[in-house]
Amino acid sequence: MKRVASKLAEHEHELRALRQSGQSYRAIADILAQRHGVTISHNAVYSFLKVRDQNRDRPSLFWEGLPEDICTSLMQQFSVLWTHGSTAIEGNTLTLGETARVLELGLTINGKPLKDHEEVYGHARAIDLIMGLLQKLRLDAEDLFNLHRCVMQKSPIDSLRPVGNWKREYNGTTGVQKGRPLYMEYASPNDTPKLMNRWLRECNRKLSTATTRNRALNVYAWIHMTFVRIHPFFDGNGRVARLIANLPLLKGGLPPLVISAEHRAAYLDCLWDYQNAVGIIRVTDRLLVPDSSLNTFKQFLRSEWNQSFELIESAHRQAAARGDGR
């Protein structure tokens, strides 16, 4: 194994990038052979990464230990569910089944807008970016800009509404308070760069803290709620928030928390109730202000997360039923 490990060590970064993109161990072995002439078995790739992870004292990623085909299927399920849920919350009209056909078969759905297809492809690419960030120790603004470029792909160019940069005009949302419509502004465009510098510093301190489900839930809620409270982009903030808030979960070996389109109203109510309770954020304000509505949001998130764990349990039952060890 020592000679095998020395062969693989020089390609470790590449191995991890391939694995995080959803490639099976067998596919990785084939890719190494094609790119570098390294003849290695898929079991050797699995063992090498497993030993390295144990030596680094970091938890395994949630899909590890499953047979290659089941792992691939599981990753596809998460990609479809995550993409459909996040885009449908923002008004995308593709159904879950249609989203799956677009992503897995490259089909065009008759009667559905081109924009909806592009949003789905863009979100799936953004998931790939998130997987690529797993080995990065610190996030920076460019990482967020890249995610924004994915989810806002093909958007019209507008100097006041830049794609891949902070907003340059005010934005807000309308809700109802005491039976009357109320418009609530987010952070001002002038305050946004400084607020996001603070947000990135605090977020980076939290990236490796999702060591248990409860801690993961807390850090997801913090990242998500503070990001949408600032609303740093002219549009696409919810999609980016639901992507980036999952990074510490994945780093902690936990599955992504996917918010379903069916619960869109309850989800938006949670965001509105918190925003309405704590008010507009200024440049020197606390990023997250304690409020009872935050506990309601966490309860909602906990319920939504159950679906992810059920998918993983189902995958392991499938593997066990046919006698697959890994």
The domain segmentation of the chain, as residue ranges, is: 2-55, 68-317
Closest by Cα among 73, 60, 20, 68 to 314: 73
CA-based R_g, the chain, Å: 21
Are 189 and 164 spatial neighbours (Cβ–Cβ below 8 Å)? Answer: no
**Catalytic annotation on 231?**
yes
Widest CA span of the chain, in angstroms? 71
Active-site residue, selected from the candidate residues 123, 148, 224, 231: 231
Q: Which listed CATH number (3.40.50.10310, 1.10.3290.10, 3.40.140.10, 3.40.50.10320) goes with 68-317?
A: 1.10.3290.10
The whole-number pLDDT of residue 210 equals 93
Are 118 and 154 spatial neighbours (Cβ–Cβ below 8 Å)? Answer: yes
Q: How many helices (H) and strands (E) does the chain have?
A: 14, 2
* Model pTM score: 0.81
Are 147 and 126 spatial neighbours (Cβ–Cβ below 8 Å)? Answer: yes
Are 119 and 238 spatial neighbours (Cβ–Cβ below 8 Å)? Answer: no
The whole-number pLDDT of residue 32 equals 83
Q: Average pLDDT per run of 10 along the chain, which is 326 residues long?
A: 60 73 81 82 81 58 84 93 97 96 92 95 95 91 97 76 94 82 92 98 95 95 98 97 97 95 96 94 96 98 97 91 63
H or E stretch at 48: helix 42-55
The whole-number pLDDT of residue 324 equals 54
Closest by Cα among 232, 228, 168 to 197: 232
Are 138 and 204 spatial neighbours (Cβ–Cβ below 8 Å)? Answer: yes
The whole-number pLDDT of residue 1 equals 40
* Measured distance between the N- and C-terminal CA atoms of the chain, rounded to whole angstroms: 19
